[in-house]
Amino acid sequence: MHKEITQESRRELAQVVPPRAVERSGVHFSELPEAKAGEPLWQEWNTYRREVGSLLANGHEARFALLKDEKILGLFDTWEAARNHGLRRFLLEPFLVQQIRVEEPYSPNSRRQHPMSQLTFPVTPAGLEAPASIGLDGKTLAALSAAECLPSAVSPKRFFDSSRAAVLD
């Protein structure tokens, strides 16, 4: 699955799931831009780019891929399941959870309209909910993760106002 795919192979894969003829709301998988070495998660993104055609051809559209370095470590039905698996396995190391799609949505803040992975946090009547572990250093968290004894996330009792980038009481 991880063999190098040439431009010709990418075009052949694009024929399996061709770009839509209607106005697109994103970038077709065969046209995804390459990440440059040194950019955050560049290896994971380039691995996704290389493999997305095969994943789509094998019926995995809408599933979530967990990627670390140049490997796809698993396919999951939900973002939460992929993220939780990644956290248990890598804790403080970066990894990518990417939904498998024919088209990557355009980034709303980009002039060049490149696709962008998204972080999703629930908004409750009390405000934005962002999981956090408070009071533990990285070494302690790593030891607890290895023992599969991670504490539950602590929900701060404050509201985050993103329009003013302020924490309100």
Amino acid identity of residue 8, one-letter, is E
Query: What is the DSSP track for 131-159?
Result: -B--S--HHHHHHHHHTT-PPPPB--SSE
Which pLDDT belongs to residue 75? 97
Which pLDDT belongs to residue 124? 64
Amino acid identity of residue 122, one-letter, is P
**Domain layout of the chain by residue ranges:** 7-105, 123-168
Which pLDDT belongs to residue 106? 75
pLDDT in tens, 92-114: 788 999 999 999 887 654 434 44
Q: Could you tell me the pLDDT band of residue 59, with boundaries at 50, 70 and 90?
A: very high
Q: What is the mean pLDDT of the chain?
A: 74
pLDDT in tens, 12-32: 666 655 555 556 678 899 999
Q: Are 82 and 98 in contact (CB under 8 A)?
A: no
